[in-house]
Structure 1
Amino acid sequence: MSVTSSVCTLALLLDAGLMFCALGSIILFSEFEQHVINKEDLCVTLNKLALAEHIVPIFLPVAFLLSLQWLAFVVSVPMAVYSIKKFRNKTYLLAVTELKFRRVPAWRWKEGWSKLGFYLLAFFFYLYCMLCALLDASN
């Protein structure tokens, strides 16, 4: 297995994990609005997910850059830039005071669905890259 196929496989697995994190946050928001969980539990759970969800996208472009995969690097940079911006502004954490009247702010919903869509598209792109790398390695 070549370095390129290894990096693509790693990216595929990490992206699958990120998809589950994004889907988990959407499910938690829904449960909160349906009075299944309280504010504190929601914040504790989402803040645990948020750290991993903002560190992994920063790692992916670095891995693609080191393996000289330019198109995959360009695809993964926007989410890394977004994660760095949220990390620097400290807006990646969810505060209890942000949740009023059992409502999640609309931008949190949009962010969750946007991340899920991006990760889904990136998943299929990384799958394509991995298959191309494996086919090139076998030839």
Structure 2
Amino acid sequence: MAFTFVAFCYLLAMILSAVLIFFAIYHIIAFDELKTDYKNPIDQCNSLNPLVLPEYGLHMFFTILFLLAGQFGTVALNMPVIGYNIYRYANRPVMSQPGLYDPTTIMNADVLSRCMKEGWMKLGFFLLSFFYYLYSMIYVLVSSSA
């Protein structure tokens, strides 16, 4: 059974999707802690903001790998989320450090609600992506050996 570059891309994307799933779960838990006043906004934003750019970078990295591998359907699947991430980062609050979350506005009910919804949507997307990449990797391996 030949392990092709496309299969490698899907395997790597599957592993990185698992990492992104953990990032999304951490974001959901962090926003729930803010909602229930277990942590203060400054500490929470200081722990969440360093994860934003690595999340975006990982997602863009394996999307570029799919582009190089010629998997344009998978690239098209990932482009809306990448576009949203670029839009979200371009319209972030003015801060002195990289990240999306500003401690002065994160406790607003609408901002907190939007961040929670965003976390759940990303978790759902990365879970579905994980299983799509798993299926695609198996499909590529089986079809290349036949």
TM-score normalised according to structure 1 size: 0.89
Counterpart-to-counterpart distance in 2, 1:79 and 1:7: 19
Which of residues 130, 135, 140 in structure 2 aligns to 1:123?
A: 130
Counterpart-to-counterpart distance in 2, 1:41 and 1:102: 18
SS at match of 1:82: helix
Give 1:47-126 correspondences, 5 Å limit.
47-90=49-92, 93-100=100-107, 105-126=112-133
68-77 or 29-38, which deviates more = 29-38
Output the amino acid matched with 2:135: Y
TM-score normalised according to structure 2 size: 0.85
Give 1:17-32 correspondences, 5 Å limit.
17-32=19-34
> What are the superposed Cα offsets for residues 110-130 of structure 1, whole Å, 9 maximum, x if unpaired?
111111111111111111111
Instruction: Indicate whether 1:44 and 2:51 are aligned.
Output: no
Gaps of 5+ in 1: none
Counterpart-to-counterpart distance in 2, 1:129 and 1:106: 34
% same residue: 35
Gaps of 5+ in 2: 94-98
Runs of 4+ deviating beyond 6 Å: none
Q: 1:60 touches 1:76 (CA, 8 Å); kept in 2?
A: no
**C-alpha RMSD of the superposition:** 1.9
Q: CA deviation at 1:32?
A: 2.0
